[in-house]
Structure 1
């Protein structure tokens, strides 16, 4: 029945291709069919790695009687929230307005014009603890549609008005981008110290991280804490300390895969012991980069070594588990593993003591010592199995013991059934992965590690894939599958995220093709996502989404697990202005950052990326241009500048005499030598030929 889904780019949609439900992908054809039949639309939103999405699919969408009822009384639409975050955002807002909560799977009922009149999340096949069964919901909705159409219309109008009001709020928060001739006015960072103190008060004093269960990696916020912690501003020490504790705790916890590398989406418990086992590209791309940055700033040698190890292993995990043919990276690994025909959450990753002892039989007296390293009690699963985590720091000799036997455990785990992979390539997330790989390669090289070999090649191949497969005639596609782009145009987060990765790759390599491609994307985003002085998340909005939330719209500047498109765009504008000297793009970035004054004070955990960009902008940002043909001295100067400059320093290098990067123009070096120019707003200090002199210049600018 669901043949329309069989050739979709989304693995989530393809998973439902054999359902007896007559699914449609989201689009005008589905809503036209609902108008033709005069029936409501049922929209089911989820994603491939979602455990409860699989549960509801098995219980309801694979059930013949339920499918027959859906097919008779509804047009059913299946949506991958990762492929269509624009759809997900609108209907999640409606679901939260109706129920006070949200989540996936999300179940939404709309008029044929797209307006919501009823919504919820997971519904069980039978009534459970006061929750109606899915069949009861369907019957109630169908009855209301048939017998009380005026109530349905009134509900739809009320919800649409509520969502329109929220869009007006976003517009006020983002502000106008119609810049006055003098720019947007001076930036203020006074609120950032308050944001740091607020975050510090939310730190879990016992288990680390922020808040209680469930516990997520606060990736965009950690970017801010690391950036702000590298400055001399008020509360910088507090920011750095919170980042240090959170990053170390996560690296030793059940959130992190201690055998292979890579982070799960979140843990269900406060102690970071039991993960929700899906692994997402967007989490690991951000965390790879964060640990690379932390390897420079962590206060102890053990922490710096831990950061380098996590960077190394997470990059290797990306290459092993998520890389697709052609060089892009897939979206996720599933939370579930198919074992003996049954989906079991986390089955690949958990162990009993007996299983561990069996694998470690050859370790002799070391077996008990290895088991003693692991916290197998905290977060034990119902079947007695546990994730492998430590819950504490390891002494150097303990870490050496673990590293000695870790390959044996991983080899045994690799022989188990493995979770499915969602092979769709998402442009913006791949941009974040490129940035993570580029920064990790540089951090590892600066630390003298041989583990950086190949990481820049992985970043180059992913960048080439995006430009070759996703980018055509000035338009960036959001997703591709099997080397072919399909579906909607990229969102603001895709254009800005890809540019972020390309700028990072240019900074790491000095290869100007990446700078020029990033510049093109920044200019394209400016043209496509700013309309009548307002920033939009989408370049083209469907009629159904416009009806669902009113004609007024604006970008949502608040971060989720990924940085908002608005924050990413502000960041690449600041970087581009630093490279190009464009005062107009600098002013545009500053206008976009005006919302930080409200977000930092009231909801700092939702404004991390924008606060990091504001911090970078307040610092200048500092610009480092290194030129010359002495490769040893060039690398020494770059290493010194990256270490002293912190995560926000904008780096450019010129191995030859010609350049298309304005920051590098006129920055000459003697033949056979090298010079470093430390600049702010294109105004540079005296060129430095000695790394220590360059470090002193950084200190002088920040004193």
Structure 2
């Protein structure tokens, strides 16, 4: 028998629609019932690809006895953190305040007036490793609600007071300047793990935003910044967290050496890592970085793109009831598939009869090409081609396995991140296929996710979810800006202007920065304003970057001032915790750099126009913006193009710094010299 989730848009909520727990979605019906019946609320927040969410569901939420207890004593509410990041932000902060740590599944007990009084993450079905058993916890808290109500009310009030204090307290004083960037680089270099790569200890997460920042600072002349960025990228791509057979990255590594991943694949990780590897290739010319970027985008196109051109949210870690089963191999399978090439492949990737993880093999490159060539009496230059052939054959065999479930919810914010990656790859690599993917995605987002002119956060099977949040607006704006600078279709820039005005009207905090939720949104305990970058960039960091880019293209100084006011909010934080503020650091680097704008006027079909555009794209210039258009200029083009005539009937380029322009040029070699 279904509960109250069966009409949900969210894939995650639908996964729980047949639980014996009488789940409600967050909404008036559930909240009114809690008040009417004077019952506490059990709030469970997770997402479709969350492995431990599945474990707790199987152990507890599918258990009839546990469900009976939950239904008798609580109003039970399920929330998809991807659909409602505002609820996740508020109650994650509450659990961190209560326990010192958070994660998913997020399990929070609330009073009927929504004050959190107890919380945690995963709870086992019986006491284990210092954690109470979930049934035991349910009974204990139900008894406290009946007999020690004052204690619960007091605990809830204390948590709310702490949340309100945190949300209204000012950040440390300071001005975001070049010294801020230098201090952050020093900290990232000093705390880098030169043994295994990356930052921190297991579980070890990729840090694409920090890597992007280091690449930027290398281009700015910091001689210490490149080495850790390159080392981290090489470490991650040996395999394990990187899927050497099918491409794409898993969520994180469970060990320090990037070998055994948590196997779920998230759209946002692959969007950011594809871009980091692309930029690293542009900076270093290291071919393996380009290969990883291309393979990641190929994976997304093959396995995470809908027929309509939207990008799926995630692929599950589990298949056939086991984590990672889709991705791991036995020695026998590899020998049966590869035949005479099996010895080369198994040596290259450390495959053993006993396995490298739970009796199976997680592939990770362990022997270099020179050693393989010597051991197998082959030419070293042929090794890569042979291994590529092996991977292709293994991918075909793997394709016959039961695939991990996909969360086919389309999230505007995450699609914006991936849109930017495809758009930038299209122009950096000159690949029309990537541009086609980007255009279809942008068209989908501006139509299906914007019914009646209202941007929405989610879409699934033709139905849209709640109104968009700050990160949806900012991420989509940045994705469209990258696409505009790739194909110069003015439709994208016109849409960006409109979205930016809406974002400013709905999210601006007069005290600086932006709220995560729009004006007139549902009233929660606090109006969240999350500044920290997590696995996805902070909406505030994205908004600051979007406004800086728009200011560079339009000359609107007010937008720049708003962005700089936001940067000042995090000055102290970015130097103390740079891995938690990587996108902010990138935005700050852009703001403080010697800003360069290029305006190109000329027929885009003219070979001479494209030669000028090609000069701009010869290198990664992260602090350069470009606008191009035929004449006469269509309405709504970037202000950078205004009053830039074609000279002598030839396509013409104007290189500007802060809207003060150098001598116009018509020859590619002259443009190349000015760009230097």
Q: TM-score range by the shorter chain?
A: over 0.9
Deviation, structure 1 residue 533: 3.7
Q: Are positions 1:410 and 2:389 aligned together?
A: no
Partner residue, 2:378: none
> Residue 687 of structure 1 is aligned with which of 647, 657, 664?
664
Work out which of the residue numbers 633, 645, 656 in structure 2 matches 1:658. Answer: 633
Q: Do the aligned partners of 1:174 and 1:557 also contact (CA within 8 Å) in 2? A: no
Note if 1:493 corresponds to 2:471: yes
Q: Does 1:526 align with 2:504?
A: yes
Structure 1 position 86, deviation (Å): 0.9
Residues 400-453 of structure 1 deviation map (CA, whole Å, 9 limit, x = unaligned): 2211221100000001110000011100111111100001111111xxxxxx23
For residues 555 and 376 of structure 1, the distance between their equivalents in structure 2, rounded to whole angstroms, comes to 47
RMSD: 2.1
Instruction: Report the counterpart of residue 113 of structure 1 in structure 2.
Output: 113
Q: Which residue of 1 aligns with 2:304?
A: 322
Deviation at 1:576, TM superposition (A): 0.6
How far apart, CA to CA, are the structure 2 residues paired with 1:379 and 1:227?
Answer: 44
Contact persistence 1:294–1:307 (CA under 8 A): yes
Question: In structure 1, what is the equivalent of residue 549 of structure 2?
Answer: 575
Q: What is residue 238 of structure 2 aligned with on the other side?
A: 252
Residue in 1 that maps onto 2:418: 433
Residue deviations 1:153-174 (CA, integer Å, cap 9, x gap)? 00000010111111123x5469
Q: Residues 474 and 391 from structure 1, CA distance in 2 versus in 1: closer, same or farther, beyond 3 angstroms?
A: farther
Structure 1 distance, partners of 2:606, 2:288, is 29
In the alignment, structure 1 segments of 5+ residues that lack a partner are: 176-185, 446-451
Matches within 5 A, 1:144-183: 144-169=144-169, 171-172=170-171
Q: Choose which of 502, 508, 512 in structure 1 pairs with 2:486.
A: 508
CA contact (8 A) 1:644 1:695 kept: no
What displacement does 1:258 show? 1.0
1:127–1:133 Cα contact (<8 Å) kept: yes
> SS in structure 2 opposite 1:371?
helix
How far does residue 516 in structure 1 lie from its aligned partner after superposition? 0.8
In 2 relative to 1, CA 68–645 (structure 1 residues): closer, same or farther, beyond 3 Å?
A: closer
Query: CA offset at residue 526 of structure 1?
Result: 0.3
1:513-544 Cα offsets, whole Å, 9 max, x none, are 00111111111100000144442110157666
C-alpha contact 2:349 2:367 (8 A) present in aligned 1 = no
Deviation at 1:583, TM superposition (A): 1.1
| Structure-2 separation of matches of 1:510 and 1:615 | 25
1:292-322 per-residue CA deviation (whole Å, 9 max, x = no partner) reads 2222101xx4x2x212212221111111111
- Superposed displacement of residue 662, structure 1: 1.1
Given the alignment of the two structures, is residue 334 of structure 1 paired with residue 311 of structure 2, yes or no? no
Residue 187 of structure 2 is aligned with which of 198, 201, 220? 198
Once residues 581 and 352 of structure 2 are traced to their aligned partners in structure 1, the CA distance between those partners, rounded to angstroms, is 36
Aligned-residue offset at 1:243: 1.6
The 5-angstrom pairing of residues 298-377 of structure 1 reads 298=284, 301=285, 303=286, 305-338=287-320, 343-361=321-339, 364=340, 366-376=341-351
* Aligned residue in 1 for 2:361: 386
Residues 84 and 294 (structure 1), Cα distance of their counterparts in 2 relative to 1, 3 Å cut: same
CA drift of 1:698 comes to 2.9
| Higher mean displacement: 681-690 or 433-442 | 681-690
Structure 1 pair 393–631 and aligned structure 2 pair: CA distance change class (3 A): farther
The match for 1:648 among 606, 623, 642 is 623
Residues 572, 174 of structure 1: CA spacing in aligned structure 2 closer, same or farther, 3 A cutoff? Answer: farther
The superposition leaves residues 126-165 of structure 1 with CA deviations (integer Å, 9 ceiling, x where unpaired) of 1223321100000011001000010010000001011111
Deviation at 1:393, TM superposition (A): 6.1
Q: Which moved more, 1:409-418 or 1:589-598?
A: 589-598
Question: After superposition, what is the alpha-carbon deviation per residue over 1:382-401, rounded to whole angstroms, capped at 9, x for unaligned?
Answer: 43212222157656533222
Q: Could you say which residue in structure 2 is the equivalent of 1:448?
A: none
- Residue 375 of structure 2 is matched in structure 1 by none
**Deviation at residue 645 of structure 1 after TM alignment:** 5.5
In structure 2, the CA distance between the partners of 1:671 and 1:356, relative to structure 1 (3 Å rule), is: farther
- Aligned partners of 2:400 and 2:519: how far apart in 1? 46
Alpha-carbon offset, residue 251 of structure 1: 2.2
Deviations 1:41-83 (A, max 9, x none): 0001111111111111011000111111111110000111111
Please, which of 589, 599, 613 is the counterpart of residue 615 of structure 1?
A: 589
| Whole-Å separation in 2 of the counterparts to 1:645 and 1:114 | 49
How far has the Cα of 1:644 moved from its partner?
A: 4.5
Equivalent in the alignment of 1:221: 210
Residues 673 and 379 of structure 1: is their aligned pair in 2 closer, same or farther, counting only changes over 3 Å? Answer: farther
Tell whether the 8 Å contact from 2:319 to 2:404 is kept in structure 1 after alignment: yes
What secondary structure is seen at the aligned counterpart in 2 of 1:237?
coil
Relative to structure 1, the CA distance from residue 614 to residue 129 in structure 2 (aligned partners, 3 Å threshold; closer, same or farther) is closer
The structure 1 segments of at least 4 consecutive aligned residues displaced by more than 4 Å after TM superposition are 377-382, 391-396, 540-544
Sort the Cα spacing of 1:204 and 1:191 in 2 relative to 1 into closer, same or farther, 3 A.
same
Determine helix, strand or coil for the equivalent of 2:457.
strand
Alignment-derived partner of residue 385 in structure 2: 400
Q: Counterparts of 1:538 and 1:379 in 2: how far apart (Å)?
A: 51
Distance 1:31 1:391, change over 3 A: farther
Q: 1:540 & 1:588 partners in 2: Cα distance?
A: 18
What is the alpha-carbon distance in structure 1 between the residues aligned to residue 367 and residue 533 of structure 2? 30
Question: Normalized against structure 2, the TM-score is what?
Answer: 0.94
* Alignment coverage as a number of residue pairs: 662
Q: How do 1:268-283 and structure 2 match up within 5 A?
A: 268-283=254-269
The 5 A counterparts of 1:406-485 are 406-445=391-430, 452-485=431-464
In the alignment, the residues of structure 1 paired with residue 353 and residue 145 of structure 2 have an alpha-carbon distance, to the nearest angstrom, of: 49
In structure 2, what is the equivalent of residue 292 of structure 1? 278
> What secondary structure sits across from 2:448 in the alignment?
helix
